[in-house]
């Protein structure tokens, strides 16, 4: 059954050739708007992801009194109001589908002198917020959630926050970032220790905006009461969006595709290591640095893939790439074993369940476990998939379908616009067989 929204018909197209530039990084785009808003002065963001998630974050800051100009779709000029310059609003703040938006904002808004209410769409309304509420409460914040720690979140401002030394149980960049952003408003020092290092964009960007912050993989510490200096941000292309092209070009014979200037922060590129271990042929060219982040063109050629046991240590570095990895695993020879990835059950959908059900519908053997799955590579046949309104599930099946024996109908694809507006057009240009269903 479809959950509503539009559908795609995906089927083998041609070999993937040429070059493609995927949109800007979602994680960096959210943070650039947030820090730009809190800074003193005007920050320009180039390569901003013009997706629904990041637009929701920008719209929230506009409601909080920040002037944000859009001279071109992928540019934002943020007129920062300073750490103490946000203005209260009586309206609820709608984060849409974005867990990053809601969790980071929970931390940032906990430090304000006013109350605010964060809401989200149906998917976000089912996602766990205790993981941010608990450490923020330890800092002195007062946040009410629905039963089970679900959104909407009512954040009561005006209280004094104090720094904490937080050792989280979940490896989560969103939780780390929420605590650090609240830490800007807290008395004394705030530190975060992670069970596994996660993406460090908040730390890097705070530093670029002039905040004194100490950080190393798995650790960050800052002192409250610091101000931010405006800073221009050039957002690299999103590795997570490139992932679907890396997989499709790997599995379609004759492909050779260049993905330009993709962000290669080591905490994001676990899929590169996993695909290479599976036999993928992916080269890095034109390496450069963009806004303090490593970027390179990724040149991917078709190669026969074989199954692997995905090292558990790689899981946090490829947390958003399991839909793409499972699509590759379905087209690989032998079994691919995933463990230690229970977090996938609380993403935009339960991604282990969504991918397992979808691959099984296409004739692939998948054995799901509480924290992973075993995918037996095989011959994909045509069939019908429900993306469960999850952008990455929809795009993963569009990639997998490039090796299917028949048409794959993918239902409920509207949410692709949250992270990758224009995916279908860019994919077709590269050679995908993909049309509106």
Residues that bind ligand S3P (CB under 6 A): 27, 100, 172-174, 177, 199, 319-320
Exposed/middle/buried for residue 334 (C-beta within 10 Å: 0-12, 13-18, 19+): middle
Q: Apex CA 320: angle with CA 420 and CA 280, to 5°?
A: 95
DSSP 437: -
Q: Nearest distance from residue 127's CB to ligand S3P, in Å?
A: 9
Q: Which two tokens stand for residue 328?
A: 């590759």
Q: Nearest distance from residue 73's CB to ligand S3P, in Å?
A: 21
Q: How many CB atoms lie within 10 A of CB 418?
A: 25
Q: How far apart are CA 203 and CA 222, in angstroms?
A: 9
Q: How many CB atoms lie within 10 A of CB 340?
A: 15
Measured CA distances, 32 to 28, 38, 40, 48 (Å): 6, 10, 14, 9
Q: Which is nearer to ligand S3P, 160 or 313 (CB)?
A: 313
Q: Nearest distance from residue 352's CB to ligand S3P, in Å?
A: 14
Q: How far apart are CA 397 and CA 434, in angstroms?
A: 11
Element (H, E) at 180: helix 173-183
Q: Which is nearer to ligand S3P, 7 or 174 (CB)?
A: 174
Q: Which is nearer to ligand S3P, 7 or 97 (CB)?
A: 97
Q: Which is nearer to ligand S3P, 54 or 255 (CB)?
A: 54
Q: Which is nearer to ligand S3P, 320 or 350 (CB)?
A: 320
Q: Nearest distance from residue 53's CB to ligand S3P, in Å?
A: 9
Q: Nearest distance from residue 31's CB to ligand S3P, in Å?
A: 7
Catalytic one among 25, 94, 238, 320? 320
Active site residue 350: no
Q: How far apart are CA 57 and CA 102, in angstroms?
A: 9
Name the residues annotated as catalytic: 320
């Amino acid at each position: 059954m479809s959950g509503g929204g539009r559908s795609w018909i995906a089927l083998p197209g041609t070999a993937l050739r040429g070059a493609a530039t995927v949109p800007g990084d979602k994680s960096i785009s959210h943070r650039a708007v947030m820090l730009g808003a809190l800074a003193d002065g005007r920050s320009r963001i180039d390569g901003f992801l013009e997706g629904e998630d990041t637009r929701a974050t920008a719209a929230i800051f506009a409601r909080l009194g920040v002037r944000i100009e859009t001279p071109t779709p992928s540019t934002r000029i943020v007129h920062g109001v300073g750490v103490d310059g946000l203005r209260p609003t009586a309206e609820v703040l709608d984060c849409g589908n974005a867990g990053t938006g809601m969790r980071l904002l929970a931390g940032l808004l906990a430090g304000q002198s006013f109350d605010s209410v964060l809401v989200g769409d149906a998917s976000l309304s089912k996602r766990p917020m205790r993981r941010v509420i608990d450490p923020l409460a330890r800092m002195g914040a007062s946040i009410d959630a629905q039963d089970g720690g679900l959104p909407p979140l009512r954040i009561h401002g005006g209280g004094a926050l104090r720094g904490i030394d937080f050792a989280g149980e979940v490896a989560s960049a969103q939780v780390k970032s929420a605590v650090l952003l609240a830490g800007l408003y807290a008395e004394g020092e705030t530190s975060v220790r992670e069970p596994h290092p996660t993406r460090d964009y908040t730390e890097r960007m705070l530093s670029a905006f002039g905040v004194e912050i100490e950080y190393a993989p798995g650790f960050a510490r800052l002192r409250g009461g610091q101000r931010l200096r405006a800073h221009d941000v050039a957002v690299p292309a999103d590795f997570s969006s490139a992932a679907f092209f890396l997989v499709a070009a790997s599995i379609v014979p004759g492909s050779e595709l260049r993905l330009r200037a993709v962000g290669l922060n080591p905490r994001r590129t676990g899929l590169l290591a996993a695909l290479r271990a599976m036999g993928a042929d992916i080269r890095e060219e034109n390496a450069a640095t963009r806004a303090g982040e490593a970027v390179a063109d990724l040149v991917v050629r078709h190669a026969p893939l074989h199954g692997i046991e995905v090292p558990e240590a790689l899981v946090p570095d490829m947390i958003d790439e399991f839909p793409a990895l499972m699509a590759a695993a379905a087209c690989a020879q032998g079994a691919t074993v995933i463990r230690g990835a229970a977090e996938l059950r609380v993403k935009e959908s339960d991604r282990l369940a969504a991918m397992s059900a979808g691959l099984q519908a296409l004739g692939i053997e998948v054995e799901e476990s509480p924290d992973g799955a075993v995918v037996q590579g095989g011959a994909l046949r045509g069939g019908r998939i429900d993306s469960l309104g999850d952008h990455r599930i929809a795009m993963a099946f569009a990639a997998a379908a490039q090796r299917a024996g028949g048409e794959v109908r993918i239902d409920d694809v509207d949410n692709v616009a949250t992270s990758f507006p224009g995916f279908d057009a860019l994919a077709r240009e590269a050679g995908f067989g993909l049309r509106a269903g």
